[in-house]
Amino acid sequence: MTILFQSLIHDPDLWIDALQPALPDEDIRPLAEIDDKASVDAAIVLAPPHGLLASLPNLKFVQNLGAGVDGLLKDPSYPRHLPLARMVDDGLANKMAEYVVLHVLRYHRQVEAMQFNQRNKIWKWLPPVDASERCIGIMGMGELGIAAAKRLLGFGFQVVSWSRRLKAIDGVASFHGADQLEGFLRHCQMLVCLLPLTPETTGIINRRTLSLLPRGAYVINAGRGGHVAEHDLLHALDNDYIAGATLDVFAEEPLRQDHPFWVHPKVTVTPHNAADIIPSRVVPYIADNIRRLREGRPLLRLVDMKTGY
């Protein structure tokens, strides 16, 4: 049988070269080299074209090459009965934690105001705020949220979190469930979104939830673009209710040339590269799952199709 490797962004030759030594008995091929679709029984993918996976009649397992599976599940023909594993490793969590710390510190240390002053040759002392007086709220306390929270605690910030189920993480006040969303948001001087995109979380950063943040709050979204109601965020920024937003992910990617986020003075745009995986770090995880598949052992990091993450 054959393993299909297909990714919208990753170089298949590079990945297959990295995977093959870890799985010497497997036949791993890019889509262009699959002559018989019936020969494929496992697929390692990132954002495959809609319909591709449904067209593989003997497919038994899908390994996603990213942490979020919303793109796959958006495909109406996606074979939801098959086991689907997502990919998160320490390297990805580390990268995301760096991204969150970078932008939290940028706002905390008023870097934009200082850059403005430099451009205008203004020597102005800005009063400092102690990290212990800033509360950072993390929406989505999974593998990435926990990694980011731990780093922020190290800087002395107050950290609160919101997830579906209650968490017990030292130093972090945990809010959970829809009923506690409002209480959580009222604490967040900076709101960091690291949620998966599901029907429950789509559009969760909207006019109502933004209005529950303290005036002058910042928003950092590295979850998915679909979490943000873009017009509501722009409205809150233009009204000076929200002080700034850092956005790594967008409803439509790449961001359209005429999108107002590109030039908005309070918005920082990054091109969906807060965190990614690298072959040397994740090949052992992928190989382990393929071996488990072959030996009929439990697969790791399986997505719960009921919750969608």
294 is catalytic: no
> Whose Cβ is closer to ligand NAP: residue 149's or residue 287's?
149
Contact between 103 and ligand NAP by CB under 6 A: the answer reads: no
272 is catalytic: yes
Whether residue 254 has a cis bond before it, omega within 30° of 0: yes
CB of 31 to ligand NAP, least distance (A): 23
Q: Rule CB under 6 A: which of 233-292 touch ligand NAP?
A: 248-249, 272, 274-275
Catalytic residue of the set 224, 256, 259, 291: 224
The number of C-alpha atoms within 13 Å of 39 and in the hemisphere containing its C-beta is 14
**Alpha-helical runs (H) found in 23-89:** 70-73
> Whose Cβ is closer to ligand NAP: residue 53's or residue 139's?
139
**Alpha-helical runs (H) found in the chain:** 12-22, 70-73, 90-108, 111-119, 143-154, 181-187, 207-212, 230-238, 279-295
Contact between 165 and ligand NAP by CB under 6 A: the answer reads: yes
Sequence-distant (6+) residues with CB within 8 A of 273 are 248
Task: Give the interface segment with ligand NAP, choosing from 18-26, 54-62, 119-127, 197-205 (CB under 6 A).
Answer: 197-205
CB of 16 to ligand NAP, least distance (A): 23
Contact between 68 and ligand NAP by CB under 6 A: the answer reads: yes
Catalytic residue of the set 10, 86, 134, 272: 272
Contact between 10 and ligand NAP by CB under 6 A: the answer reads: no
Pick the binder of ligand NAP from 37, 150, 164, 281 (CB under 6 A): 164
- Tokens 């972090």: give the residue: 172
Sequence-distant (6+) residues with CB within 8 A of 3 are 23, 26, 27, 28, 29, 40, 41, 42, 43, 44, 290
Sequence-distant (6+) residues with CB within 8 A of 205 are 191, 193, 219, 221, 227, 228, 229, 232, 233
> Whose Cβ is closer to ligand NAP: residue 26's or residue 143's?
143
**Short-list 225, 178, 179, 186, CA closest to 203:** 225
> Whose Cβ is closer to ligand NAP: residue 41's or residue 89's?
89
Active site residues: 224, 272
Residues at the contact surface with ligand NAP, assessed by CB under 6 A = 66-68, 88, 140-145, 162-165, 194-198, 200-201, 222-224, 248-249, 272, 274-275, 309
